[in-house]
Structure 1
């Protein structure tokens, strides 16, 4: 929903940054709306192609009768439809390039906060245009489908094996041929007219599942291990979660939400890396925090342990550091398994244990670390990572150690 501040954005651009900034802003908004329309247009046209329908603007008529004339008309309509698809793709690519140029121009001349407001404005405009066009195209397709009948002909695929897929058949027929398009249309109609298979659960079981779903006094969630489903009383789940959060050695309450402060700090780091040439503009935009969602805390029950404690999980999807964390993960992934103490899986553990010979006075002992991830020392971890990144030749050729260290330090502090 638009806010009063957004309505003042065009005037602010003109008064503070000149008419050229306002012109580029309006052009960017126009191009985003145009891109939304043509994406809908592409979806509508591809839908027509897969269902063997032709829009009224491409439907041809002739006074010449006979099956040969009908085949000529059908082939011509199919060629025209393919040409329209090609032209739509071309228009989309040109529009994307124009949007990229306008975005680059605004990015270089506007402050970060104003640029963010501009992106939010054009994103809202694009989504509104896409939704409006989508509704209109759906109605248009429904009317077209009710008026126009599918034209079918026999498809010579009888020599294929029973387990051959539709796309394999289309490939053998030629993906761009009329026969392949007709085969896809036939398959679509068969699927639309087919009945769903019988349910693998009884009516009573389905009613029980619905009753569990509607019960507000329980919580249904997956187990930490074993692919089991756990049903807990909601009060028990909340008590277990509060027991974790009340651990003052690991968690502490905050007086206010620090998300905006951490977001500004991360932006400063990214800007300095961009200005120093460590990252380019494309990488900067990929890592730029566009979302400010707070990470979500939840717990997964450990059914293999007494009292069924919860494993704390903090989901950072959509948070300010999510894109940065993904970027760092790709850089650090080659380090995984580079130490002799690394275990790939349970099979690797069995293999290594089988090679160990114990004396009569020796025993194997296993340890379980409580709250492993929250107990990892941050400073020591950064030091080890710095040494490994700067000394490993295989890693240094695949990543930028300076970038990884500076980003990870800022991400961990956040």
Structure 2
């Protein structure tokens, strides 16, 4: 016969129900006390448990993250108040059940009931306490990327290829892994340059002398703007300065894969000279043919326009070739960009001329 069967046999089912209610209240107050302690520690350390972290229906930003964190913190504080009230009510229920059992049971049965309840309480307390300590320890750990460090190193090895004799620091490798077209955020907003660039627009917006008022309004707005958030670490910014000052290496982009390739400068120049010395690919010229090509282009364009084989729009578009020719002769460093522009203009121009000639052929004669 179990202890509850003995109680039921001597004092009836009501006494057993009272004991079960008393044990449930003990379990609830143990869980509530530990949960309250856990939330108080989270509040004091400015941590938000995962169950209280709110999600955003829109893309995250620093402002949205701050709003969500403040709202989650307020929910934690509200839950702390609720648990304190609930704990107070449980204490009253326990005292009521304890008084009822003391009046109902004999002294030895009552003390045995209290002894069993205390053992159960201690066992449950240690179990719940361990669970909450584990949860709190996990919250204190800094959030890390889902990609292991080894995978990050492998990624850097794929995007940064060092063929030079000089080893790169981890900061330099991390910087170059972002890509050669990566744009660092400026440390501060250049107010003077901004005002200078919109000065002509201000004259048009306020021709009657209200330019100073608009200028001051814009300056105040810029000064109140938040400081740009840096997208490079301090070590990576130092790596930019170090790489710019180092003339012994040359950094270029791979033909395929967009990887950053680091080579010794003498070796890089030797490769360039070897490529240019290939007479089957490159031809050495004695005179710059830019002026001659520009004259031929103008003459051909004018003849097509006079014969009405191209309209005014195509004629004006064709004139942009001359700009690219002159720019290419003056700034050879922009060869890649200018060649791309010439290819784009050539494609658009040839398509327009073909369409114009097709429409001319279908036009009824006579």
More helix by share: 2
Q: Is TM-score (shorter-chain normalized) higher than 0.5?
A: no
TM-score, length-normalised on structure 1? 0.33
